[in-house]
Amino acid sequence: MENESAMPPFFPQPSVFSGSAIETFITTRYGGVSSSPYSFFNCSPFVPDPASGQNRALLAGHLHAAEADFLIPHQVHGTRILCVDECFMRLGEASRRAELEGVDGLITGLSGCFLCVTTADCLPVFFYDPVHRAVGIAHSGWRGTVAHISGLLLQAMQRCYHTDPREVRVAFGPCISGRHFEVGNEVYDAFSRAGFQMERLALHKMELTDEGECYFRWHISLQEAVVSDLAGMGVPEEQIERCPVCSYADHRCYSVRRQGPQTGRNLSGIRLV
């Protein structure tokens, strides 16, 4: 049995943000009160876990925040980006929920609220513009990555806050690694049609069946795909921090590929302070 009480509830803050006027968090699976299959620290309100609200209250306590400070969109693997402005913050709870429906990226220039995404193998991408004091976060699964959601979010920050890609800082949270993200030809072809340099992010690997027979499958790195996208827009690669944690291999993470669809979600968030 896992000794969840001895495990930390958060991953370390990305070093690219050290000394910045922002706060980030990435939850692990540990430190909460959920039962199997959501054990233990599922904070997502979009899975049928009756303890998720208690976990969000624990999260708020850890971060000295109010539960209403966590803006958690209902993601659909799309590319809709929501700008969190004063008008949004004046909405009531039900209206906020409606605005967060079908959203996979958030940006803001306001202090105090945590922009959040939930993941269980998909890639969370944090953005920080230290010059114009703006932040963003994207949920980048393979469909969102193919649709260039991180680039679209950066474009939204350019429109709303005059963000210069050369000044932005970017960090990734845990996601499934290229080693474990085995895909079919249709996914490879989707990335190729979207203009990605496949030699940079894809590897054709030999696999073995349980019977010992050989076959070849594509493996794709979501992180390298997003690095390629953002570098192409002018973000210096040294200002993009990759995450070494593979959600499939590391049991601190929830993983749909490892556990099946009925599991919890890691929660990531960023806010200006």
Same domain, 172 and 119: yes
CB 46 within 8 Å of CB 118:
yes
Yes or no: say if 122 and 147 are a contact pair by the CB < 8 Å rule: no
ω before 37 within 30° of 0 (cis)? Answer: yes
Are both 147 and 166 inside the same structural domain? yes
pLDDT digits (tens, 9 = 90+) for 193-210: 999 999 999 999 877 777
Give which of 26, 264, 253, 9 is closest to 137, Cα–Cα. 26
Bin 160: left if φ > 0, else alpha if -120 < ψ < 50, else beta.
alpha
Based on the fold, state whether residues 64 and 110 are members of the same structural domain. yes
Asked if residue 15 has pLDDT above 70, the reply is yes
CATH of residue 253's domain is 3.60.140.10
**What is the pLDDT, as a whole number, of residue 134?**
98
Q: Which of 27, 144, 132, 129 is nearest to 81 (CA)?
A: 144
pLDDT of 212 reads 73
What token pair was written down for 78?
């799309």
Q: What is the DSSP string of 190-239?
A: HHHHTT--HHHHEEEEEEE-TTS-EEEEEEE-HHHHHHHHHHHTT--GGG
**Model confidence over 118-172: pLDDT tens digits?**
999 999 999 999 999 999 999 999 999 999 999 999 999 999 999 999 999 999 9
Say whether both 96 and 204 belong to one domain: no
Same structural domain, 23 and 69: yes
The answer to the question of residue 150 being in a domain is: yes
Strands 81-84 and 105-108: parallel
Same domain flag for 38 and 83? yes
Question: Do 250 and 162 sit in the same domain of this protein?
Answer: yes
Of residues 8 and 168, more confidently modeled: 168
Span 223-251, average pLDDT: 98
- Asked if 215 and 268 sit in the same domain, the reply is no
- Spell out a b/e string for 119-130, using b for 16 or more CB atoms within 10 Å of the CB, else e: bbbbbbbbbbbe
> Are 82 and 106 within 8 A, CB to CB?
yes
| Same structural domain, 116 and 237 | yes
Percent pLDDT > 70 in the chain is 98
b vs e for 61-92, b when ≥16 Cβ sit within 10 Å of the residue's Cβ?
A: eebebeeeebbbbebebbbbbbbbeeebeeee
pLDDT of residue 1: 44
Q: Which residues are paired to 203 by β-bridges?
A: 219
22 with 70, same domain: the answer is yes
Taking a C-beta distance cutoff of 8 angstroms, is the pair 43, 56 a contact? yes
Cβ 146 vs Cβ 192: under 8 Å: no
Give residue 205's domain range: 182-220
Does the predicted model carry a pTM greater than 0.75? yes
Place of tokens 């959203």: 103
Q: How many C-beta atoms lie closer than 10 Å to residue 197's C-beta?
A: 13
